[in-house]
Every structure is written in structure tokens, then in C-alpha cells.
Amino acid sequence: MSTIDTFKGRIGQTNTSDWFTIDQSRVNAFAEVTLDHQFIHVDPERAKAEAPFGGPIAHGFLTLSMLSHFAEQSLPAFPDKAIGINYGFDKVRFLSPVPVGARIRGKFTLSDVTERKPGQFQLTQTVEVEIDGHDTPALAAQWLSLVVVG
């Protein structure tokens, strides 16, 4: 079976990662790296008193960046001598804040595979980051990846 057939055979498949807890130390570390120290993320007392979320929340971009971990953990391995490259997003929506202390996980459904040129495939995945115990996901996106087979 060819590489393209392998990928196309996965269209419609959904893979879900394990749960991951977003704690205050991770939020603080992300704030340091990105220089985004907005109080709703890094000041639990002030966030509880002044923000509408009942306490501190994770940065939306922290939640988005967790997709790499979730994908590595839950998606099928690429064929031998293949690498995956982040190509971007067609759409990203932050639907619900992630409270610090919440557990989140990634849910991936392969929706399209296009051969761009021999040995190079674009994968489109519909992704959600679910929040344990919440009906609305933290985010929904269309994630594009390139797979280059050497």
C-alpha cells in the first residue's frame, strides 16, 4: 500500500489523547516565555476577585500549543523516513476558557489528505481541545500539517 493510500485510509478516524492537567506553574512558565503576564493568567487572587471566570485561566495560546503534545501522544506514527511539519491553521476558535487546574485533552479527526508533490502530503485535521467536565471545548481548529517522506 502506498503512503498516500495509508493516509487516505485514515480519513474520518478520530484519535484522542490522554488527559493533561494545566496547573498554575505551567501557566506562569508560559507567561514568562511569551511575556504575557495579564493578571487573569498569573494572579490567582486578583483573577478570582476581578475576572469573570472565578479564578485564573490558561492562555489561549498555551492551550493551542498543547496540540503538539496531544498529537504526538495520540496520532498514528508516520511511515519510516517521514517527518511531520506544522503548516498552520485554516481556522482557530477559542470557545471556552481553561480554568487553571482543569484537565484537557486533544481530539483529532483527519478530514483530508492531499498529495502536493511526490513524497509530500498535506493533512488537514479537525481538532478540539476538550475540558474535562465541560460541554464546550476550549478550542476548535482546522490544523494543517505537511508530511515529507524521504
Alpha helices in the chain (DSSP H): 3-8, 24-34, 39-42, 44-50, 60-74
pLDDT at 54 over 80: yes
Say which CATH number the domain at 13 has: 3.10.129.10
Could you tell me if residue 35 is inside a domain?
no
CA 37-18-36 angle, to 5 degrees, is 10
Could you tell me if residue 143 is inside a domain?
yes
Distance CA 31, CA 47 (A): 15
What pLDDT sits at residue 78? 72
Q: Residues with Cβ < 8 Å from 69, sequence gap 6 or more?
A: 17, 20, 106
Torsion of CA 143, 132, 35, 84, to 10 degrees: -30
What pLDDT sits at residue 53? 95
Number of compact structural domains in the chain: 1
For residue 75, give its domain range: 3-21+66-149
- This prediction's pTM: 0.91
Q: What is the mean pLDDT of the chain?
A: 93
pLDDT, tens digit, 9 for 90 and up, residues 56-107: 999 999 999 999 999 998 887 777 778 889 999 999 999 999 999 999 999 9
